[in-house]
Structure formats: structure tokens, C-alpha cells
Amino acid sequence: MTSPAPDWTTAFPPPRATVLSLTGGEVVKMFDDMDITSSMRGFLLVDVRREDWVGGTIKTSLNLPAQSFYQSRKVLLDLCERAGIKMVVFYCGSSNGRGPRCANWMQDSIDDIAKFGMKSTLQVRILKGGIKGWVREFQGGFMEGFEEGMWDLGC
């Protein structure tokens, strides 16, 4: 009899940081601000779902599954710095597990480079309620690949 595979989270150190949350309304305002300004987009949404990445995602989101995020967090930090991104917002299904874990790991990376005198102005946030909260609030608005049948909109 084979023992079950260990939980992926045990393969990586627990995050040290505690990142703040943004509401869906605050993210929509960032989209609105983006539409009325000629400056480059200053935020990035990161969807860290893997198998449950169905039914759609918030528009412009980058999918980086949580199970492989720890190894790529420093690359994402470098890319955000080079692209002039000012804020990265993480989310998962409900933003109770994977989203906060990845956001906190990202903040840990920022804190770690600061120890060597390298300052980052990148802000890291968590989308409160995750994609499920987003769907409840916006009924599929601001989403790509939205499939209404995949969501319980009666909540």
C-alpha cells in the first residue's frame, strides 16, 4: 500500500510576511484608472490556481500555479521591477490558502533583497474573497473565459 503524497506546502518554508488585502472594488478601480490614463499599467494580477483553474479568470491575469510559485518568485519580482509594475495582486479560489501563501512568499523575497540594500517599491496584495468572491460580486464581469455554469451564482 502506497502512502499518499505529502501536501505540496510542506516542500517549501512557511512564509514570514503578512500581506494586506484589496477588495474586488479596489481592483476594478485600478482597471478604470488604467482605462483613463495613458501611462503604462502599474499592476499585475496573479491567479495561483492549478486544477481548479476553470470557469474563467479575471481579465489580464497571469496563471502561476501555487505549487510551482516558490521557485519562480524571484523571477516574477525581477520581471515586475523591469516592467515598472507597482503592485502585484494574488488570488486563488477563496484567497484563504494558496493566494495568501504566494503573496507572502513574494513579500518575503522583497524583504530579503532589502537586507542587501536593494530596495523594491513593489507592493504585494491579496484579492479578498478570491475568484469566488469576484464572481459573486461582479457576476462574470471583468473576466476572460467566463463560464457561468461553472459557478454557483445564487450565493
Instruction: Tell me, yes or no, whether 38 lies in a domain.
Output: yes
Mean pLDDT of all residues in the chain? Answer: 90
Question: What domain range includes position 117?
Answer: 12-141
DSSP notation for 2-38? PPPPPPGGGGSPPP-----EE-HHHHHHHHHHHHH--
CA distances from 47 to 17, 85, 111, 139 (A): 19, 16, 22, 18
pLDDT tens figures, 97-114: 999 999 999 999 999 998
At residue 91, what is the residue type?
A: Y
Q: What is the CATH number of the domain that holds 133?
A: 3.40.250.10
Confidence of residue 155 (pLDDT cuts 50, 70, 90): very low
- Asked whether the predicted pLDDT for residue 134 surpasses 70, the reply is yes
User: In this predicted structure, what is the pLDDT of residue 4?
Assistant: 67
Does a structural domain hold residue 91? yes
Question: Among 124, 94, 116, 95, which Cα is nearest to 18's?
Answer: 124
Q: Residue 35: inside a domain, yes or no?
A: yes
Look-up: residue for cell 473576466? 143
Residue 3 covered by a domain: no
- pLDDT tens, residue by residue, 23-66: 999 999 998 876 666 667 789 999 999 977 788 999 999 999 99
Beta strands in 21-135 (DSSP E): 21-22, 43-47, 57-58, 62-63, 87-91, 123-127
* DSSP tag of 61: -
Residue 6 lies in a domain: no
Q: Which residue has the cell 445564487?
A: 154
Q: Is 148 contained in some domain?
A: no
Is 147 within a domain? no
Domain membership flag for residue 68: yes
Looking at the structure of the chain, the number of domains it has is 1
